[in-house]
Amino acid sequence: MEAKDTTATSSKIDPYLSSPSSTVSEGEFVLLIFPDKRQYFAQALKSQRGKSPSLKINKRSYSTHMLIGLSYGSVLELQKNSLVPLPEGEDVIPNHQDLSIDTEQPTDNTEANDNRHLVDSNTSQGLSIEELAKMRDDKDISGAEIVDKIIQNSSTFQNKTSFSKAKYIKKKQMKYQPRCRIVKCTSASVCEALFIKDARRIMNLREDSLGQILSYSNVTAGSKVLVFDTCMGLITGALAQRMGGYGSIHAVYTGMQPSYIDVIARFNLNFMEHNSIRWVHAGYLFHDEINTQEKLEGDDLDKIEREKVTWPCHLQPHTEKYLLKMESEKKRLEFLQKRCGRFARKLTRPTLDETFASLKDGKKCDSLIIASQYDPKETLTTLLPFLETSCPFVVFSEYMEPLLECFEMLQKEKLAINIRLSDTWLREYQVLPNRTHPNMTMSQNGGFILTGVKLCPIHGINELDEDLMKEIRAEMGTRRGGKKRKNCPRGGEENKLLKKKPSMR
Amino acid sequence: MDFAKKLTDYENVTTKSGVRILETKKDVDENDEKAKLENLLLEQANKAASDLFLGSGSRLFSTIKTLSEDSVVRDKDHLIDAKLYPTKLLPPSSIIEAGSLVVIFESFDSLNFVYATPGEVFHNKNGHFHHDDFIGKPYGCKIRSRNNRGFGFLYLLRPTPELWARSLNHRTQIVHELDSAIVIFNLNIRPNMVVCESGTGSGAMSHCIMRAIAPHGKLHTYEFNQMRAHTAKEEFKRNGVDHLVDVHWRDVCGKPSAESTSNDGRETKEGESLTFGSGGFDIGPAAADAIFLDLPEPWLAIPHAAHTIKPNGGLCSYSPCMEQTQRTCQAMRDYGFHSLKTIEVRLREHYVDEVELEKVPTFKLPRDMNVNNYVPGQSVSPVPSNNGESGPEAKDMEVDTNKKEEETKDSKEVKEPVSKKRMLGCRPFSNMRGHTAFLTFAKAGNKSYPDPLKE
Ligand SMILES: C[S@@+](CC[C@H](N)C(=O)[O-])C[C@H]1O[C@@H](n2cnc3c(N)ncnc32)[C@H](O)[C@@H]1O
């Protein structure tokens, strides 16, 4: 058993133990979340002269350098041309003096106003659209002032109930005094943001489904995981984050090269986490010839090439000449920077052959996760042999039908146990004094999940050794039973049960 | 449970890469263009290595630079070497050994567990199963009973927190696997974090949290019931996960009243390590990355949680009643928590059936069979003749239709494979398993709160 040590002592030496920072560092991706659920990814970058600001919100561009060093959870106000950090304690919905209302106390039906005099018309606002637009463009008028003006010019405001006043103000504030919060990119927040943006691109993988995949697959620090993920790399990134750089994630990809770098970058993975992801080309697994061969054909050319390189990759004479001829130091620097980065990545990257070998040889995988657009049944059949027995697998699909086929196959061929097909029902609530209710909108589809535990292919069918079985039966003195059982080696009792209950797992 | 095991290091390509931070040459001649270029290369190589290993803009790199300028002897640990990044894997463990925890799978609804002990026997309604038959077998195998002519069987599975939660003896309500998955995911619990939980209850949630914080994290779990705290502690030890957890026998809600002092320091009967305490999480200010509350009065624990949690740390409270949830939300807001989110989540499980759909029979009634003459309560009677009497003609008809039916039946049997459609169907379980509750998530503000006990 491991010695009882807490994280503090050895963190300076062991790079695995560095704790995540609570402030935004340079280069990091963050999410800016507005109270109306709009979400934007932003990368905190030092302002680079000549380059346009990187973040676009409401058709305006903002520079993101001011995010560097801010605490996660801080609130920003979107002003005319900058994001302004607000002091601690400010909320994304500003406090407003007109809201000294009694929403905090339980109302005893003495609400002075109700909707009886409400007239639905567009004439209640005294300010014209043009006037509003002018105020918005005016640098000297703040968002808060616009909101106040709108309230003053509303003929119906004073007759509203306190709840509708609050709602009205909130609506105007979201529009004219927009604020957002800096949220850390975690598996949950990244998944939610992508789901809101375009659920179909991530195969309708809702946050709760991703959370379940990570738990049901039993991944933990040090696991060896095999994942086939066509949800833009969302699962792969989430796995890397969950495992903290310990263990290895063999991620299957198709096409010429893994195309999920974009989404994986959103997770701000550190080196170990990045390095725990090993890309395996699907051809290695699904091409009959390669998969069944004992040894790969031919030399690993990538490996040969890599081993020629030594750090820091001294310059070839012609490169040296070329560099010395360069006019500016700056250009030289840029060239070398790119070159070193390229070599560093190359040197630390395993070749495809090496990755496949590490998947195939040695320890089998502790978890198998499939969430791909390809036929789940075929995928599962091909990948299941790489999984250690009694280890869990999870198959996710946008549709239920492909999972039914998998379910049937697993059950019929006795490949797995504890098989479960499920989806989730998720409802969010607004919990406020006297205003608690389910949210207006509710997502109806977060995808379907099939999970199970792999059975031992030999011992799963033929339990005790033959000898021991004979012994037992001899003791019992019932020859007939023994003979009968030989005819149906899979166990008559079990088959009967299966027939009775078609879905017994 | 696998996460309890010590990770073993595996060399991999990265460790062989040799990419590391190099020393630059000092005292370079201003006019030696080649030497200057060489130094430039080293600098850029260092920057690339630092960016790769430590992330761009890392502070560590600048430390190295300043140190070298002051020509101070460099701390070797600062030279981040690729060798520090081996792959750390769990050791393989597929064979059941004496002492191994084994989950016994009898059926989907009936799970059990044993610690494989030579000579012992596990009994259930299907028979007697000898532990000696388990030892040496791989997890995931099927075991036959020694009695009942070997007809009884069960499966031996490798324990996971989910299987453990289903097989353990529920001393309290437990957090089921769906909820625990959502909680750990939303609190973003990751390796090496410090997490607080209360109450410990049956320890079901504790195991799930420990899986996520392994290998060097710490779970502080608080339980005011002495028996439960004690049993949990024993169980964690037996399951080999005690290096990941501290069990505290403590009332986390305890108000700083006179009553609590009388309890403080109360020794357990056995005189072992657990002593009673009251009031909050006693691990110091801003110490926990995340806190999970499964308590009858969670709002009383919120002031303590605000003190213990790190800035922007995640808090989650799990309550079956909306009234509890409302009070807790209010307390969270009062103590600087933000981004509150309350959800309810339920698992819909499905059966998968092989369905055979028969085609609707297509045979045609003779023209003079009038449906309108059907009298409720009577079997379909022959069609009366024109004058309203039932004559021999009608009788013939009856025979006739029977014959026709027989004929169609015959022909149907011949065509059977065509007229039946086989497909897989799924049908939801009639009842949802587990109980439901409201899950409230919140983020701690960046302001620190004093210890409520010292106010
Ligand atoms: C529902 S159980 C928790 C179950 C646990 N989450 C699990 O999954 O096994 C609640 C536990 O909280 C304990 N408890 C209640 N109030 C407490 C308090 N003020 N301080 C510490 N523990 C408390 C109870 O004794 C009970 O065991």
**Do B177 and B325 belong together in one domain?**
yes
Indicate which residue's Cα is closest to atom 25 of ligand 1: B225
The domain tally of chain B equals: 3
Q: Comparing B150 with B331, which gets the higher pLDDT? A: B331
pLDDT beyond 50 at B70: no
Q: Give the residue, out of B295, B316, B328, with the most ligand 1 atoms within 8 A of its beta carbon, to mutate for a pocket test.
A: B295
The pLDDT value recorded for residue B104 is 95
In the three-class reduction of DSSP (H, G, I as helix; E, B as strand; rest coil), residue A429 is classed as: strand
User: Taking CB atoms and an 8 Å cutoff, what residues of chain B touch A418?
Assistant: 105, 108, 157, 163
Residue A295: pLDDT band with limits 50, 70, 90: low
Q: Is residue B162 in contact with ligand 1, taking CB distance under 6 Å?
A: no
- Cβ separation of A15 and B53 shorter than 8 Å? yes
Q: Which residues of B101-136 are buried (b: 16+ CB within 10 A; e: fewer)?
A: bbbbbbebeebbbbebeeeebbeeebbebbbebbbe
**Do B308 and B184 belong together in one domain?**
yes
Please write the tens of the pLDDT for every residue from A18-41.
Answer: 767 788 988 889 999 999 889 999
Mean local confidence (pLDDT), A402-413: 94
Q: Report how far ligand 1's centroid is from the alpha carbon of B295 (Å).
A: 5
Compare CB distances from B45 to A72, A311, A461 and report the shortest one's residue.
A311
- Cβ separation of A390 and B352 shorter than 8 Å? no
pLDDT beyond 90 at B167: yes
What is the C-alpha to C-alpha distance for residues B340 and B169, in angstroms, rounded to an integer? 34
**Residues 6+ away with beta carbon under 8 Å from A85:** A66, A70, A74, A75, A76
Compare CB distances from B142 to A16, A89, A463 and report the shortest one's residue.
A463
Residue B218 counted as domain residue: yes
Residue B335 counted as domain residue: yes
Residue B173 counted as domain residue: yes
Mean local confidence (pLDDT), B350-360: 90
What is the C-alpha to C-alpha distance for residues A143 and A135, in angstroms, rounded to an integer? 9
Interface with chain B: mutation pick from A45, A463, A497, highest number of B CBs within 10 Å: A463
The pLDDT value recorded for residue A2 is 39
What is the C-alpha to C-alpha distance for residues B145 and B130, in angstroms, rounded to an integer? 8
Indicate which residue's Cα is closest to atom 2 of ligand 1: B201
pLDDT beyond 50 at B394: no
The pLDDT value recorded for residue A122 is 65
Q: Report how far ligand 1's centroid is from the alpha carbon of B105 (Å).
A: 28
Residue A290: pLDDT band with limits 50, 70, 90: low
Determine contact, residues B279/B305, Cβ cutoff 8 Å: no
User: Taking CB atoms and an 8 Å cutoff, what residues of chain B touch A5?
Assistant: 216
**Do B132 and B222 belong together in one domain?**
no
**Residues 6+ away with beta carbon under 8 Å from B51:** A341, A344, B58
User: Taking CB atoms and an 8 Å cutoff, what residues of chain A touch B15?
Assistant: none
Q: How close is the nearest chain B Cα to the Cα of A441, in Å?
A: 13
Q: Report how far ligand 1's centroid is from the alpha carbon of B6 (Å).
A: 30
Residue B62: other Cβ atoms inside 10 A: 11
Residue B20 counted as domain residue: yes
pLDDT beyond 60 at B435: yes
User: Taking CB atoms and an 8 Å cutoff, what residues of chain B touch A17?
Assistant: 192, 216
CA dihedral of B167, B169, B172, B178, whole degrees rounded to 10: 0
Least confident of A212-221, A278-287, B269-278: B269-278
Indicate which residue's Cα is closest to atom 16 of ligand 1: B295
User: Taking CB atoms and an 8 Å cutoff, what residues of chain A touch B94?
Assistant: 364, 388-390
Q: Report how far ligand 1's centroid is from the alpha carbon of A8 (Å).
A: 29
Determine contact, residues A489/A462, Cβ cutoff 8 Å: yes
Please write the tens of the pLDDT for every residue from B35-64.
Answer: 888 888 888 888 888 788 877 655 554 444
Least confident of A235-239, A330-334, B185-189, B322-326: A330-334
Q: Structure tokens of A406?
A: 């998998």
**Do B303 and B450 belong together in one domain?**
yes
Q: Which domain holds residue B212?
A: 167-346+436-454
**Residues 6+ away with beta carbon under 8 Å from A45:** A26, A27, A54, A64, A65
Q: Report how far ligand 1's centroid is from the alpha carbon of B316 (Å).
A: 14
Least confident of A72-76, A226-230, B393-397: B393-397
Q: Is residue B317 in contact with ligand 1, taking CB distance under 6 Å?
A: no
Compare CB distances from A215 to B157, B177, B440 and report the shortest one's residue.
B177
Mean pLDDT of chain B: 81
Please write the tens of the pLDDT for every residue from B287-334.
Answer: 999 999 999 999 999 999 999 999 999 999 999 999 999 999 999 999
Please write the tens of the pLDDT for every residue from A142-193.
Answer: 888 888 888 888 877 887 777 788 888 888 888 888 999 999 999 999 999 9
The CATH number of residue B116's host domain is 3.10.330.20
Determine contact, residues A220/A244, Cβ cutoff 8 Å: no
**Residues 6+ away with beta carbon under 8 Å from B242:** A1, B233, B236
Residue A472: pLDDT band with limits 50, 70, 90: low
Write the ipTM: 0.85
User: Taking CB atoms and an 8 Å cutoff, what residues of chain B touch A311?
Assistant: 17-20, 22, 45, 49
Mean local confidence (pLDDT), B365-390: 59
> Quick check: A270 contacting B, CB < 8 Å?
yes
Residue B405 counted as domain residue: no
What is the C-alpha to C-alpha distance for residues A94 and A170, in angstroms, rounded to an integer? 8
Nearest CA in chain A to B355: A502
**Do B128 and B187 belong together in one domain?**
no
Residue B273: other Cβ atoms inside 10 A: 11
Determine contact, residues B350/B426, Cβ cutoff 8 Å: yes
Residue A261: pLDDT band with limits 50, 70, 90: confident
Residue A250: pLDDT band with limits 50, 70, 90: very high
Please write the tens of the pLDDT for every residue from A196-217.
Answer: 999 999 999 999 999 999 999 9
**Do B155 and B176 belong together in one domain?**
no
- Cβ separation of B339 and A183 shorter than 8 Å? yes
Compare CB distances from A390 to B158, B177, B211 and report the shortest one's residue.
B158
pLDDT beyond 60 at A464: no
**Do B155 and B177 belong together in one domain?**
no
Q: Structure tokens of B213?
A: 């914080």
Q: Give the residue, out of B198, B281, B292, with the most ligand 1 atoms within 8 A of its beta carbon, to mutate for a pocket test.
A: B198
- Cβ separation of B322 and A436 shorter than 8 Å? yes
The pLDDT value recorded for residue A307 is 81
Q: Is residue B252 in contact with ligand 1, taking CB distance under 6 Å?
A: yes
Mean local confidence (pLDDT), A483-503: 39
**Do B115 and B147 belong together in one domain?**
yes
Q: Is residue B208 in contact with ligand 1, taking CB distance under 6 Å?
A: no
Mean pLDDT of chain A: 82
The pLDDT value recorded for residue A317 is 85
Provide φ and ψ at A504, rounded to 5°.
-65, 135
Residue B279 counted as domain residue: yes
CA dihedral sign, ordered B345, B346, B347, B348: negative
Domains (ranges, CATH) in chain A?
A: 26-101+121-184 (no CATH), 187-300+351-454 (3.40.50.150), 470-500 (no CATH)
**Do B255 and B323 belong together in one domain?**
yes
Q: What is the DSSP letter of A116?
A: G
In the three-class reduction of DSSP (H, G, I as helix; E, B as strand; rest coil), residue A360 is classed as: helix
- Cβ separation of A347 and B19 shorter than 8 Å? yes
The CATH number of residue B223's host domain is 3.40.50.150
Angle ∠(A379,A211,A404) on CA atoms, nearest 5:
35
Residue B261 counted as domain residue: yes
Residue B274: pLDDT band with limits 50, 70, 90: confident
Q: Structure tokens of B362?
A: 């297509």
Q: How close is the nearest chain B Cα to the Cα of A502, in Å?
A: 6
Percent of the residues in chain B that have a pLDDT greater than 90, as a whole number? 49
**Do B142 and B174 belong together in one domain?**
no
Residue B197 counted as domain residue: yes
Residue A418: other Cβ atoms inside 10 A: 23
Q: How close is the nearest chain B Cα to the Cα of A101, in Å?
A: 17
The pLDDT value recorded for residue B307 is 95
**Do B181 and B277 belong together in one domain?**
yes
**Do B116 and B199 belong together in one domain?**
no
